[in-house]
């Protein structure tokens, strides 16, 4: 009976044809085109170009900027993932208690999530700007000289990582709150009867049972951090030079400012591979650690 | 202990509000007032807002945002819900492959195909048009949408489909009459998540929508800022205007915003 009913359902597959068409035109076709363009010296607008083989890839690998950008991207990805998860979990544990007005605080912490990252970047730029920046005002109170915070590459990378964390830690917090509420309370009762202290309860009950939430958060944050774009554009535009640039902003710059479409496409393909490998590996590693309740 | 906990709670709240306090203070401060950003203006003015509104063409940008986000979300929900039904109910090898293909588009950022995508849209004559922006946005929101819808549909008992077919519904009618009405809660989540993504999008809008007549709020703001770098209080006012629509919506519907996100993530 069942078999007969679900057997002839092939006709229903027409329902996903529109979605597939969108993917085919706006993702799959450009993706293949991107591979072709990366083997040319196309400038992005003229009709003339020639095939140059692996030249653009060799350029990419020997370009000092690629490696600065690459290490920045890794910091944006893993740095903000670490910060967001540690802070998000700490906030979730704190807000999981019986406290009045904790809903209000949760609303406030989550607010930046819904605001455009570009605007968030501008707001924090007002803190770190050299002339009349909010941080330098505080420095002046203590008689310290003003600092041009964003003029130093590594420091700018740190600041941008912080801004990204500030904006999106509300997501990690919310997912951890939901995860904490799904853990049965009698586990903790049983543990405290056995005399387990807070730390060993946290280590042996909370953390293992939060693994699904940790997986989601870590993977979401890695993907979000590795493709960081808006905040960087708003705060430093990748500068000074390429010192705070990510793969996204570097590619953007190569294409629109330097008009080296071949190089930009090669970098895009490299970024595709890199992010796919990193996020799939972390997904597999984390899934292995999950336990069933 | 109790006092300590409430002190920490208050501290967290204040720390996370400081950026918005600074922004609002800057936006309300007259341009000639050069006091520290930490001091809230005593003689508040709306001049900065008026200037930002006019100079950044924010009224046009707001209209463009509404048109692009509105049309995108309608298409996203429609196409996404349609695609998710066969993908979740009839898991043949082929359909599983298609599903995997859709979902893998979620992991890899859209920006990696920037060069070929942009040049293709140039060839299609789509630069500075609503349709190219809308179709691009729809494409890159579909993976998440399909992920959420298929997850939800697989939690709907199959007995409902069977009851429908005994009552003489064909397979399409089962979807439209029985499944579709049940999708309301997850549709709310999809609208909020994808709507926000499209509304705030900068990475595509910045190169697809360059003309004032079509540009969205983030694009308008970024051009405004490169033009008026010295008028920092105008910029601040522009940022306030830019974040106002979603903030108001969030304050009224925060239950849906936060729950939608948690649901969407935990289902994964």
Tell which B residues from 39 to 78 touch A, by Cβ distance under 8 Å: none
Select from A102, A124, A268 the Cβ nearest to the Cβ of B113.
A268
How close is the nearest chain B Cα to the Cα of A292, in Å? 14
Over residues A93-148, the pLDDT tens digits come to 999 888 888 889 999 999 999 999 999 999 999 899 888 788 888 888 888 888 88
What is the ipTM for the molecules in this complex?
0.89
Over residues A176-228, the pLDDT tens digits come to 998 888 888 888 888 888 888 888 888 888 888 888 889 889 988 998 899 89
pLDDT of residue B104: 84
Q: What is the CATH number of domain A33-289?
A: 1.10.3720.10
CA distance A276 to A206: 30
Does B120 contact A30 at a Cβ distance shorter than 8 Å? yes
pLDDT of residue A4: 45
B191 near B73, Cβ under 8 Å?
yes
Residue B242: enclosing H or E segment and its boundaries? Answer: helix B232-267
Instruction: Say how many CB pairs under 8 Å bridge A and B.
Output: 257
The helix-helix angle for B232-267 and A211-226 (nearest 10°) equals 140
Measured at the alpha carbon of residue B221, what is the angle toward residues B190 and A226, in degrees to the nearest 5?
55
Among A27-36, A69-78, B253-262, where is mean pLDDT lowest? B253-262
A291 dihedral zone (left: phi>0; alpha: psi -120 to 50; beta): beta
Show the domains of chain B with their CATH numbers: 2-45 (no CATH), 50-267 (1.10.3720.10)
Which two structure tokens, joined as six digits, stand for A27?
């993702």
- Contacts of residue A124 in chain B, CB cutoff 8 Å? 19
Place A158 in a pLDDT band, splitting at 50, 70 and 90.
very high
pLDDT of residue A204: 85
Residue spans per domain, chain A? 33-289
Measured at the alpha carbon of residue A171, what is the angle toward residues A169 and A173, in degrees to the nearest 5?
70
pLDDT tens by residue, chain B, 268 residues: 788 889 999 999 999 999 999 999 888 888 777 778 888 888 888 888 888 888 888 889 999 999 999 999 999 999 999 999 888 888 888 888 989 888 888 877 888 898 899 999 999 998 999 999 999 999 999 998 998 898 888 888 888 888 888 877 787 888 888 888 888 888 988 998 899 999 999 999 998 998 888 999 999 999 888 888 778 888 889 899 989 999 998 888 887 887 776 666 655 4
pLDDT of residue A1: 40
């Amino acid at each position: 009976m069942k078999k007969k009913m679900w057997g002839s359902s092939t006709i229903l597959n027409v329902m996903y044809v529109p979605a597939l068409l969108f993917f085919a035109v706006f993702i799959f076709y450009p993706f293949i085109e991107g591979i072709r363009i990366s083997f040319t010296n196309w400038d992005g607008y003229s009709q003339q170009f020639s095939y140059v083989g692996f030249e653009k890839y060799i350029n990419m690998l020997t370009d000092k900027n690629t490696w600065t950008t690459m290490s920045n991207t890794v910091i944006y990805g893993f740095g903000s993932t670490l910060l967001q998860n540690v802070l998000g979990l700490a906030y979730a544990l704190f807000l999981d208690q019986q406290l009045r007005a904790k809903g209000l605080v949760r609303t406030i912490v989550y607010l930046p999530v819904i605001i455009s990252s570009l605007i968030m970047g501008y707001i924090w730029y007002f803190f770190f700007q050299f002339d009349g920046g909010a941080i330098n005002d505080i420095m002046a109170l203590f008689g310290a000289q003003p600092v041009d915070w964003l003029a130093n590459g590594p420091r700018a990378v740190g600041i941008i990582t912080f801004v990204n964390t500030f904006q999106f830690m509300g997501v990690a917090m919310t997912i951890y709150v939901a995860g904490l509420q799904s853990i049965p309370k009698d586990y903790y009762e049983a543990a405290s009867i056995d005399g387990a202290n807070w730390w060993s309860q946290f280590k042996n009950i909370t953390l293992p049972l939060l693994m699904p939430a940790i997986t989601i958060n870590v993977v979401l944050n890695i993907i979000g951090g590795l493709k960081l774009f808006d905040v960087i554009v708003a705060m430093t535009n990748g500068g000074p030079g390429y010192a705070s640039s990510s793969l996204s902003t570097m590619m953007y710059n190569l294409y629109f400012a330097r008009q080296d479409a071949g190089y930009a496409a090669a970098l895009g393909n490299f970024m595709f591979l890199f992010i796919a490998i990193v996020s799939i590996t972390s997904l597999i590693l984390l899934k292995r650690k999950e336990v069933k309740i | 202990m109790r006092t300590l906990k409430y002190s920490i709670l208050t501290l967290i709240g204040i720390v996370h509000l400081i950026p918005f306090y600074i922004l609002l203070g800057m936006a309300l401060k007259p341009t000639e007032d050069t006091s520290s950003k930490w001091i809230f203006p005593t003689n508040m003015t709306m001049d900065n807002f008026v200037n930002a509104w006019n100079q950044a063409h924010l009224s046009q940008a707001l209209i463009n945002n509404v048109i692009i986000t509105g049309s995108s979300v309608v298409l996203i929900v429609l196409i996404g819900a349609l695609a998710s039904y066969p993908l979740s109910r009839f898991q043949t090898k082929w359909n599983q492959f298609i599903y995997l293909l859709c979902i893998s588009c979620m992991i890899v950022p859209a920006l990696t195909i920037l060069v070929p995508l942009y040049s293709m849209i140039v060839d299609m004559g789509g630069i500075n048009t609503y349709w190219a922006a809308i179709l691009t946005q729809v494409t890159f929101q579909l993976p998440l949408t399909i992920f959420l819808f298929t997850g939800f549909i697989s939690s709907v008992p199959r007995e409902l489909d069977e009851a429908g077919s005994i009552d003489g519904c064909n397979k399409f009618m089962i979807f439209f009459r029985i499944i579709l009405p049940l999708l309301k809660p997850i549709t709310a989540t999809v609208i909020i998540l994808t709507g926000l993504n499209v509304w705030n999008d900068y990475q595509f809008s910045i190169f697809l929508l360059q003309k004032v007549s079509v540009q969205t709020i983030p694009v308008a703001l970024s051009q405004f800022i490169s033009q008026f770098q010295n008028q920092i209080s105008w910029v601040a006012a522009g940022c306030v205007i830019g974040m106002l629509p979603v903030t108001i919506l969030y304050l009224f519907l925060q239950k849906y915003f936060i729950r939608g996100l948690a649901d969407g993530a935990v289902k994964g």
